[in-house]
A and B are shown apart, each in its own frame.
Chain A
Amino acid sequence: MRCVDARELLSAVLDDELPSDECGAVVEHLEQCARCSSEAGALRALKHSVARLQAEETSTAAVRARIDALRFARNRQGPRSLAVAAVATVLIALAALTLSGRWRHDLSDVVAADHLKSNPAVAPPQVVTDSPFRIERFFAGATGFDPTVPRLKGAELLGARLCHLDGETAELIFYKHDGRNISLFVTAAPPRTAACTKHRGLTVCREERNGLGIYAVSDLPETSLRRLLGHS
Chain B
Amino acid sequence: MTRDEFSEVVLRWLEQVTAFARRLTSSAADADDLVQITYEQAFRSWHTLRHPRAGRAWLFRIARNAAVDRFRRESARPEIELVGYEALDIEVAMPLHPVELIDLEAALSRLPIDQTEAIVLCDLWGFTYEEIAAISGCAVGTVRSRISRGRVRLLKILRSGGSANARERRS
What residues on B are CB-neighbors of A46 within 8 Å?
151, 154-155, 158
Binds B, one of A56-64, A76-84, A151-159, A205-213: A56-64
What residues on B are CB-neighbors of A109 within 8 Å?
126
Q: State the CA gap A62–B32 with chains docked (Å).
A: 9
A63 touches B35 (CB 8 A): yes
What residues on B are CB-neighbors of A113 within 8 Å?
126
Q: State the CA gap A50–B100 with chains docked (Å).
A: 11
**Quick one: given A10-B148, A71-B43, A74-B3, are A56 and B18 in contact (CB under 8 Å)?**
yes
Binds B, one of A11-19, A29-37, A141-149: A11-19
Judged by DSSP, the binding face of B is helix
Q: Which residue of B lies closest to A202 (CB)?
A: B126
Answer yes or no: A42 CB below 8 A from chain B CBs. Answer: yes
Q: Which residue of B lies closest to A64 (CB)?
A: B14
Binds A, one of B62-70, B77-85, B89-97: B89-97
Q: How many residues of chain A are within 8 Å of chain B by beta carbon?
A: 42
Q: State the CA gap A51–B119 with chains docked (Å).
A: 10
Q: State the CA gap A114–B147 with chains docked (Å).
A: 21
Of B14, B120, B122, B154, which contacts A53 at CB under 8 A? B120
CB distance from A223 to the nearest CB of B (A): 21
**Quick one: given A11-B151, A12-B144, are A55 and B94 in contact (CB under 8 Å)?**
no
B16 touches A56 (CB 8 A): yes
CB distance from B83 to the nearest CB of A (A): 18
Q: Which of B37-96 contact A (CB under 8 A)?
A: 39-40, 43, 92-96
Q: Could you tell me which A residues sit within 8 Å of B by CB distance?
A: 7-12, 15, 17, 42-43, 46-47, 49-60, 62-64, 66-67, 70-71, 73-74, 103, 105, 109, 112-113, 116, 123, 199-200
Q: Could you tell me which B residues sit within 8 Å of A by CB distance?
A: 3, 7, 11-12, 14-16, 18-19, 22, 28, 32, 35-36, 39-40, 43, 92-96, 100-101, 104-105, 108, 119-120, 122-126, 128-129, 144, 147-148, 151-152, 154-155, 158
